[in-house]
Amino acid sequence: MPFNVLTAKAVEESVNTSSEGVTSGNLFNNHGFVGSEGTLPGWNVSWTADERQTAYLKDYKFYDMSGQYLENYVTPQSDQSLDLTHKRVTDNGHIAYLRQNINVIPGHRYALSIDYKYVSGAALEKVQFRTIDRRTNAALSDSSWLSADNPVAKTYTSTVTASSNSLRVELKVIGFNDAIGVEGTVNFSNVSIVDLDATDISIGAINTKSTAVTGSATPNAKIDVFAGEEKIGSGTTNEAGEYTISIPQQAKDTVITAKDDTSKLSKTTTVAQGSVKPLSII
Protein backbone atom coordinates (compact mmCIF):
# COMPACT_ATOMS: atom_id res chain seq x y z
CA MET A 1 0.00 0.00 0.00
CA PRO A 2 1.53 3.32 -1.00
CA PHE A 3 2.17 5.96 1.61
CA ASN A 4 3.75 9.42 1.65
CA VAL A 5 7.16 9.74 3.25
CA LEU A 6 7.59 13.43 2.45
CA THR A 7 5.16 16.22 1.78
CA ALA A 8 6.74 19.67 1.45
CA LYS A 9 4.50 22.68 1.45
CA ALA A 10 5.56 26.01 -0.05
CA VAL A 11 5.74 28.81 2.46
CA GLU A 12 3.28 31.50 1.49
CA GLU A 13 4.48 35.02 2.11
CA SER A 14 1.99 37.84 2.40
CA VAL A 15 2.07 40.61 -0.16
CA ASN A 16 3.63 43.89 0.95
CA THR A 17 0.61 46.05 0.24
CA SER A 18 0.89 49.60 -1.07
CA SER A 19 -0.74 52.73 0.26
CA GLU A 20 -1.23 56.32 -0.82
CA GLY A 21 0.28 59.33 0.89
CA VAL A 22 3.73 58.05 1.85
CA THR A 23 6.86 60.16 1.50
CA SER A 24 9.10 59.32 -1.43
CA GLY A 25 12.84 58.92 -1.41
CA ASN A 26 15.09 61.82 -2.37
CA LEU A 27 14.25 62.72 -5.97
CA PHE A 28 17.47 64.63 -6.66
CA ASN A 29 20.01 62.83 -8.78
CA ASN A 30 23.48 62.94 -7.22
CA HIS A 31 22.24 64.69 -4.09
CA GLY A 32 25.60 63.86 -2.51
CA PHE A 33 27.41 66.02 -5.09
CA VAL A 34 29.77 63.27 -6.22
CA GLY A 35 32.08 64.67 -8.86
CA SER A 36 33.22 62.86 -11.99
CA GLU A 37 36.04 64.04 -14.25
CA GLY A 38 35.60 67.67 -13.25
CA THR A 39 31.80 67.69 -13.58
CA LEU A 40 28.76 67.15 -11.33
CA PRO A 41 26.56 64.47 -12.94
CA GLY A 42 22.88 65.30 -12.62
CA TRP A 43 23.46 69.03 -12.17
CA ASN A 44 23.41 71.80 -14.78
CA VAL A 45 25.07 75.23 -14.52
CA SER A 46 23.19 77.04 -17.33
CA TRP A 47 21.14 79.97 -16.07
CA THR A 48 18.64 80.96 -18.79
CA ALA A 49 14.90 80.59 -18.20
CA ASP A 50 14.43 78.75 -21.50
CA GLU A 51 17.07 76.22 -20.33
CA ARG A 52 19.39 76.72 -23.28
CA GLN A 53 22.91 75.45 -22.68
CA THR A 54 24.73 78.64 -21.70
CA ALA A 55 27.49 77.32 -19.45
CA TYR A 56 29.28 74.12 -18.52
CA LEU A 57 31.66 72.70 -15.92
CA LYS A 58 35.23 71.76 -16.75
CA ASP A 59 37.68 70.85 -13.99
CA TYR A 60 34.85 71.99 -11.65
CA LYS A 61 35.06 75.53 -13.08
CA PHE A 62 32.23 77.45 -14.77
CA TYR A 63 32.70 78.40 -18.44
CA ASP A 64 30.31 80.05 -20.87
CA MET A 65 29.78 78.51 -24.29
CA SER A 66 32.52 80.66 -25.83
CA GLY A 67 35.02 79.13 -23.40
CA GLN A 68 35.32 82.16 -21.12
CA TYR A 69 36.04 81.28 -17.50
CA LEU A 70 33.32 82.83 -15.33
CA GLU A 71 35.39 82.94 -12.12
CA ASN A 72 33.04 80.54 -10.28
CA TYR A 73 33.87 76.99 -9.28
CA VAL A 74 32.62 74.06 -7.19
CA THR A 75 34.49 71.75 -4.84
CA PRO A 76 32.80 68.43 -3.96
CA GLN A 77 33.41 67.45 -0.33
CA SER A 78 33.98 64.00 1.16
CA ASP A 79 30.93 64.44 3.44
CA GLN A 80 28.63 64.62 0.38
CA SER A 81 28.32 68.38 0.55
CA LEU A 82 29.43 70.96 -2.01
CA ASP A 83 31.46 74.16 -1.71
CA LEU A 84 30.40 76.73 -4.31
CA THR A 85 32.71 79.71 -4.80
CA HIS A 86 31.58 82.94 -6.45
CA LYS A 87 33.92 85.75 -7.52
CA ARG A 88 32.49 89.15 -8.30
CA VAL A 89 34.12 90.15 -11.57
CA THR A 90 31.32 92.40 -12.84
CA ASP A 91 28.59 94.32 -11.07
CA ASN A 92 25.97 91.71 -10.09
CA GLY A 93 27.18 89.45 -12.88
CA HIS A 94 28.21 85.83 -13.28
CA ILE A 95 25.91 84.33 -10.67
CA ALA A 96 27.14 80.91 -9.55
CA TYR A 97 24.19 78.78 -10.56
CA LEU A 98 23.20 75.12 -10.16
CA ARG A 99 19.94 73.59 -11.30
CA GLN A 100 18.28 70.23 -11.69
CA ASN A 101 15.04 69.15 -13.36
CA ILE A 102 12.78 66.84 -11.36
CA ASN A 103 10.01 64.65 -12.80
CA VAL A 104 6.89 65.14 -10.70
CA ILE A 105 3.19 64.26 -10.61
CA PRO A 106 0.64 67.10 -11.01
CA GLY A 107 -1.29 67.72 -7.81
CA HIS A 108 1.33 66.14 -5.55
CA ARG A 109 3.11 68.18 -2.88
CA TYR A 110 6.91 68.38 -2.97
CA ALA A 111 9.08 69.42 -0.03
CA LEU A 112 12.49 70.99 -0.69
CA SER A 113 15.18 71.19 2.01
CA ILE A 114 18.72 72.59 1.68
CA ASP A 115 21.36 73.36 4.31
CA TYR A 116 23.76 76.22 3.59
CA LYS A 117 26.58 77.96 5.46
CA TYR A 118 29.49 80.37 5.07
CA VAL A 119 32.86 78.71 4.46
CA SER A 120 35.54 81.27 3.57
CA GLY A 121 36.38 84.53 1.83
CA ALA A 122 33.90 87.38 1.76
CA ALA A 123 31.05 86.97 4.23
CA LEU A 124 28.78 89.00 1.96
CA GLU A 125 27.61 86.16 -0.27
CA LYS A 126 23.90 85.63 -0.66
CA VAL A 127 22.03 82.51 -1.75
CA GLN A 128 18.70 82.02 -3.48
CA PHE A 129 16.62 78.87 -3.89
CA ARG A 130 13.74 78.61 -6.34
CA THR A 131 11.33 75.91 -7.49
CA ILE A 132 10.08 76.55 -11.03
CA ASP A 133 7.22 74.98 -12.99
CA ARG A 134 8.96 74.06 -16.24
CA ARG A 135 5.77 74.24 -18.33
CA THR A 136 4.94 77.85 -17.41
CA ASN A 137 8.34 78.97 -16.05
CA ALA A 138 6.46 80.31 -13.02
CA ALA A 139 8.18 80.33 -9.63
CA LEU A 140 6.30 78.08 -7.21
CA SER A 141 8.68 79.00 -4.39
CA ASP A 142 11.37 81.67 -4.09
CA SER A 143 13.55 82.21 -1.04
CA SER A 144 14.64 85.67 -2.24
CA TRP A 145 18.29 86.45 -1.49
CA LEU A 146 19.39 85.07 1.90
CA SER A 147 22.62 86.01 3.69
CA ALA A 148 25.17 83.20 3.90
CA ASP A 149 27.40 84.78 6.56
CA ASN A 150 27.27 82.16 9.32
CA PRO A 151 29.59 79.13 9.57
CA VAL A 152 26.76 77.31 11.36
CA ALA A 153 24.44 75.75 8.81
CA LYS A 154 20.97 77.14 8.24
CA THR A 155 18.17 75.19 6.60
CA TYR A 156 15.90 76.48 3.87
CA THR A 157 12.63 74.62 3.31
CA SER A 158 9.64 75.08 1.05
CA THR A 159 6.66 73.01 -0.05
CA VAL A 160 4.99 73.39 -3.44
CA THR A 161 2.19 71.66 -5.31
CA ALA A 162 3.15 70.50 -8.79
CA SER A 163 0.98 71.84 -11.61
CA SER A 164 2.79 70.01 -14.42
CA ASN A 165 5.01 66.95 -14.73
CA SER A 166 8.37 68.68 -14.24
CA LEU A 167 9.99 71.12 -11.81
CA ARG A 168 13.30 72.96 -11.99
CA VAL A 169 15.13 73.51 -8.70
CA GLU A 170 17.68 76.34 -8.68
CA LEU A 171 20.54 77.09 -6.27
CA LYS A 172 22.31 80.45 -6.72
CA VAL A 173 25.19 82.33 -5.09
CA ILE A 174 26.17 85.96 -5.65
CA GLY A 175 28.13 88.62 -3.74
CA PHE A 176 26.00 91.76 -4.05
CA ASN A 177 28.25 93.93 -1.89
CA ASP A 178 31.62 92.32 -2.58
CA ALA A 179 34.32 94.46 -4.08
CA ILE A 180 35.22 93.61 -7.66
CA GLY A 181 37.69 90.73 -7.65
CA VAL A 182 36.63 89.40 -4.23
CA GLU A 183 35.32 85.86 -3.85
CA GLY A 184 33.42 83.96 -1.20
CA THR A 185 32.53 80.31 -0.66
CA VAL A 186 29.21 78.83 0.49
CA ASN A 187 28.62 75.18 1.39
CA PHE A 188 25.45 73.25 0.46
CA SER A 189 24.52 69.96 2.12
CA ASN A 190 21.58 67.67 2.89
CA VAL A 191 19.90 68.67 -0.36
CA SER A 192 16.60 66.86 -0.80
CA ILE A 193 13.25 67.08 -2.52
CA VAL A 194 10.58 64.51 -1.70
CA ASP A 195 7.04 63.75 -2.83
CA LEU A 196 4.75 64.01 0.20
CA ASP A 197 1.94 62.22 -1.64
CA ALA A 198 3.87 59.33 -3.16
CA THR A 199 2.42 55.89 -3.85
CA ASP A 200 4.18 53.16 -1.92
CA ILE A 201 5.52 50.14 -3.77
CA SER A 202 4.48 46.56 -3.05
CA ILE A 203 5.92 43.20 -4.03
CA GLY A 204 4.11 39.87 -4.01
CA ALA A 205 5.20 36.54 -2.59
CA ILE A 206 7.93 34.71 -4.52
CA ASN A 207 9.03 31.09 -4.28
CA THR A 208 11.69 28.98 -5.95
CA LYS A 209 9.37 28.20 -8.87
CA SER A 210 8.32 31.80 -9.55
CA THR A 211 9.19 33.22 -12.96
CA ALA A 212 7.64 36.65 -12.42
CA VAL A 213 7.36 39.35 -9.78
CA THR A 214 4.05 41.16 -9.31
CA GLY A 215 3.05 44.17 -7.28
CA SER A 216 1.97 47.79 -7.44
CA ALA A 217 3.69 51.18 -7.44
CA THR A 218 3.42 54.61 -9.04
CA PRO A 219 1.38 54.46 -12.27
CA ASN A 220 3.52 54.42 -15.43
CA ALA A 221 6.75 54.10 -13.44
CA LYS A 222 9.85 52.12 -14.31
CA ILE A 223 10.38 49.21 -11.91
CA ASP A 224 13.70 47.42 -11.50
CA VAL A 225 13.99 44.06 -9.74
CA PHE A 226 17.16 42.90 -7.99
CA ALA A 227 18.36 39.64 -6.47
CA GLY A 228 20.76 40.96 -3.90
CA GLU A 229 22.77 43.53 -5.89
CA GLU A 230 22.16 41.90 -9.29
CA LYS A 231 19.47 43.35 -11.54
CA ILE A 232 17.32 40.46 -12.79
CA GLY A 233 14.39 42.23 -14.44
CA SER A 234 12.72 45.52 -15.25
CA GLY A 235 9.38 46.74 -16.50
CA THR A 236 6.78 49.49 -16.25
CA THR A 237 3.61 49.77 -14.22
CA ASN A 238 0.33 50.26 -16.05
CA GLU A 239 -2.04 53.19 -15.51
CA ALA A 240 -3.45 51.44 -12.44
CA GLY A 241 0.05 51.13 -10.98
CA GLU A 242 0.28 47.34 -11.39
CA TYR A 243 3.36 45.53 -12.65
CA THR A 244 4.33 42.00 -13.68
CA ILE A 245 8.02 41.49 -14.44
CA SER A 246 9.61 38.27 -15.67
CA ILE A 247 12.57 36.97 -13.67
CA PRO A 248 14.65 33.79 -13.68
CA GLN A 249 13.87 31.31 -10.92
CA GLN A 250 15.74 32.08 -7.72
CA ALA A 251 17.19 30.00 -4.89
CA LYS A 252 15.43 29.78 -1.53
CA ASP A 253 16.19 32.66 0.87
CA THR A 254 17.34 34.99 -1.92
CA VAL A 255 16.35 38.58 -1.10
CA ILE A 256 14.40 40.15 -3.96
CA THR A 257 13.99 43.94 -4.16
CA ALA A 258 11.63 45.92 -6.37
CA LYS A 259 12.56 49.60 -6.87
CA ASP A 260 10.29 52.37 -8.19
CA ASP A 261 12.36 54.81 -10.26
CA THR A 262 9.74 57.56 -9.88
CA SER A 263 9.28 57.55 -6.10
CA LYS A 264 12.74 56.12 -5.29
CA LEU A 265 10.98 53.70 -2.93
CA SER A 266 11.64 49.97 -2.72
CA LYS A 267 10.29 46.82 -1.10
CA THR A 268 11.94 43.47 -0.46
CA THR A 269 10.75 39.91 -0.07
CA THR A 270 12.55 36.62 0.54
CA VAL A 271 12.22 33.67 -1.81
CA ALA A 272 10.34 30.78 -0.19
CA GLN A 273 10.57 27.11 -1.08
CA GLY A 274 8.19 26.21 -3.89
CA SER A 275 5.90 23.20 -3.61
CA VAL A 276 7.71 19.87 -3.85
CA LYS A 277 6.07 16.88 -5.53
CA PRO A 278 5.34 14.23 -2.88
CA LEU A 279 7.49 11.11 -3.02
CA SER A 280 5.81 7.74 -2.80
CA ILE A 281 7.30 4.42 -1.80
CA ILE A 282 5.51 1.27 -2.87
Parts of the chain with a pLDDT under 50 = 1-19
Query: For residue 188, which amino acid is it?
Result: F
Q: Which residues pair with 51 in a beta bridge?
A: none
Q: Which CATH number fits domain 201-276: 2.60.40.3580, 2.60.40.10, 3.40.630.10, 3.40.630.30?
A: 2.60.40.3580
pTM: 0.85
| Count of residues in the chain | 282
- Listed by start position, the domains of the chain span 55-195, 201-276
Q: Which CATH number fits domain 55-195: 2.60.120.260, 2.40.160.20, 3.20.20.220, 3.40.710.10?
A: 2.60.120.260
168-194 pLDDT, tens digit per residue, is 999 999 887 777 888 899 999 999 999
117-160 pLDDT, tens digit per residue, is 999 988 888 999 999 999 999 999 999 999 999 999 999 999 99
